[in-house]
Structure 1
Amino acid sequence: MSFMITNSNLLMQRSMEYLWTKQSCILNNIANIETPGYKNQYVTFEDSLEKAIQNAAQKSKCTSSSFRQAIEDSAVEVHQADESARMDDNGVNITEQAVELARNGYQLQYVMDAISSDFSLLRTAIRG
């Protein structure tokens, strides 16, 4: 079944994994807004993806499968910030987290719509 998954579908799947992990971190940050000493968590994916694609592009024989492998190898990483926003050493800025939560919700919806659209096209092609 993996032959039906294109590189763009795989990238959307990885993006959804990133956004879902980011959503979880944001909600975790908001839940710990009153926890003394709690440090803000954030998620990265773009840097790992960019590095993996650049490595694939530098290979002498660059193919679609090497880009596919680069997408699969890119990692969603959760990091902990070192900065503190308050005197109790809590690093969560609630305003920043609320904005990120809203932005992430829109991004999740956009990626989900794109995935749904791709599968609708595939369904139409199969039905004829």
Structure 2
Amino acid sequence: MLDSVTANALSGALDGLALRQRAIADNIANINTPGYQAQRVLFEDALRRAVESGSGVAQPTVERSLEPTRLNGNNVNLDTETLSNIDTVLRFQFASQALSGQAASITKAIGQASA
């Protein structure tokens, strides 16, 4: 039903943002773990290319952060993680509302067509 470039892109964005939220939670949980390297989830560029190609389907990737490390080898920065989490939550809410709105429009159109 929602198999369009827009729906695929919104769904992919939700998947990427959900993965980013898990990575942020893992990073914060390991803030005092010696040698732990923060994770970063990347998907926006791949998603942009997928939309431009007409598919809207992209896979997120998880990479280690290149931020400098503390003496114990850990590079998690609580300020960075907090800001990233706020940004991610807001983007997730926006994409979720957009996908919901698209589904509601289709449902309304189907209802009007059958009346």
Does structure 2 retain, via aligned residues, the 8 Å contact 1:39–1:84?
Answer: no
Does structure 1 retain, via aligned residues, the 8 Å contact 2:13–2:47?
Answer: no
Structure 1: where are the runs of 5+ without partners?
A: 57-66
How far apart are the structure 2 equivalents of 1:76 and 1:96?
20
How far apart are the structure 2 equivalents of 1:6 and 1:51?
15
Question: May I ask how many residue pairs the two structures share in their alignment?
Answer: 112
Q: Give 1:5's aligned residue.
A: 3
Query: How do 1:1-128 residues align onto structure 2 when only pairs under 5 Å count?
Result: 1=1, 4-52=2-50, 56=53, 67-68=54-55, 71-72=56-57, 74-128=58-112
Task: State the Cα distance separating 1:46 from its structure 2 match.
Answer: 2.2
TM superposition score normalised by structure 1: 0.79
Does structure 2 retain, via aligned residues, the 8 Å contact 1:42–1:79?
Answer: yes
Task: State the Cα distance separating 1:50 from its structure 2 match.
Answer: 4.3
Task: State the Cα distance separating 1:53 from its structure 2 match.
Answer: 5.8
Instruction: Give runs of ≥4 in structure 1 deviating > 3 Å.
Output: 49-54, 82-85
- CA-atom RMSD, angstroms? 1.7
Do the aligned partners of residues 102 and 117 (structure 1) sit closer, same or farther apart at CA in structure 2, a change above 3 Å counting? same
Task: State the Cα distance separating 1:6 from its structure 2 match.
Answer: 1.1
How much identity, in percent, do the aligned residues show? 28
Does structure 2 retain, via aligned residues, the 8 Å contact 1:40–1:80?
Answer: yes
Q: Deviations over 1:43-74 (max 9, x none)?
A: 111232345566x4xxxxxxxxxx12xx33x3
Amino acid at match of 1:44: L
TM superposition score normalised by structure 2: 0.87
Task: State the Cα distance separating 1:81 from its structure 2 match.
Answer: 1.9
